[in-house]
C-alpha cells in the first residue's frame, strides 16, 4: 500500500492481512496519518487543518468500497504497538464497539492512536487540544 502521492492504496471491503498490515505499519511509523477514500474532500480538509497546525500528515487512500468499521476493528486487533513499544489501549475492545460501528472516513490517527474523523479533529482544534496532542506524538517541533 502506498501513500496518496505515490499511488492510490487500495483496501477492499474485506480487508486482506497484507493491506491492513500496510495501514498498521504506516500508523505505527508516522506520527500523523489520515486514511480516507480517493478524492474525498473531507480528507483534503483534515490534511489542510493539520498542515495549518504545522504537522505533515501521511495520507492513505483506500478503495471506494472499503469499510471503515472493518479497518478500525482490524487495526485495533493488534495487541502491541511495535513502533512505540506500548500495549495498544484498544486491543481488548470488543469487535462491536460503538467506535467501530460509527467509524467513518477520513480516519485520523495521531501518535498511533485513532483520534476519530474530521468532526473529532475539528472539535479538538476548537477546544485547543490538537496542538498538545500533536506535540506529544512528535508531529510538531515546537
CB-based contacts of 57, cutoff 8 Å, min separation 6:
30, 32, 33, 34, 46, 47, 50, 51, 108, 139
Nearest of 139, 28, 13, 132 to residue 80 by alpha carbon: 28
Top-confidence residue, 82 or 115: 115
Cβ atoms of 111 and 39 closer than 8 Å: no
Helical (H) or strand (E) element with 45: helix 41-52
Mean pLDDT of the chain: 75
**Is residue 16 scored above 50 in pLDDT?**
yes
Grid cell locating 92: 481488548
* Report field, pTM of the whole predicted structure over 0.85: no
pLDDT of residue 43: 94
Q: Residue 76: which pLDDT band, with cuts at 50, 70 and 90? A: low
Other CB atoms within 10 Å distance of the CB of residue 29:
12
pLDDT-based confidence at residue 142 (cuts at 50, 70, 90):
low
Contact predicate 12/63, CB 8 Å: yes
Q: Which residues contact 82 (CB under 8 A, 6 or more apart)?
A: 28
Q: Over pLDDT 70: what percentage of the chain?
A: 65
Amino acid at each position: 500500500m502506498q501513500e496518496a502521492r505515490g499511488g492510490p492504496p487500495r483496501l477492499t471491503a474485506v480487508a486482506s492481512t497484507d493491506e491492513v498490515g500496510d495501514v498498521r505499519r504506516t500508523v505505527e511509523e508516522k506520527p500523523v496519518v489520515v486514511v480516507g477514500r480517493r478524492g474525498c474532500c473531507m480528507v483534503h480538509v483534515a490534511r489542510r487543518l493539520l498542515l495549518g497546525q504545522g504537522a505533515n500528515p501521511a495520507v492513505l487512500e483506500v478503495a471506494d468500497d472499503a469499510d471503515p468499521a472493518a479497518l478500525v476493528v482490524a487495526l485495533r486487533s493488534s495487541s502491541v504497538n511495535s513502533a512505540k513499544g506500548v500495549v495498544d489501549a484498544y486491543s481488548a475492545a470488543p469487535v462491536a464497539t460503538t467506535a467501530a460501528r460509527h467509524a467513518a472516513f477520513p480516519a485520523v490517527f495521531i501518535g498511533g492512536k485513532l483520534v476519530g474523523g474530521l468532526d473529532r479533529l475539528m472539535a479538538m482544534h476548537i477546544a485547543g487540544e490538537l496542538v498538545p496532542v500533536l506535540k506529544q506524538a512528535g508531529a510538531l517541533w515546537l
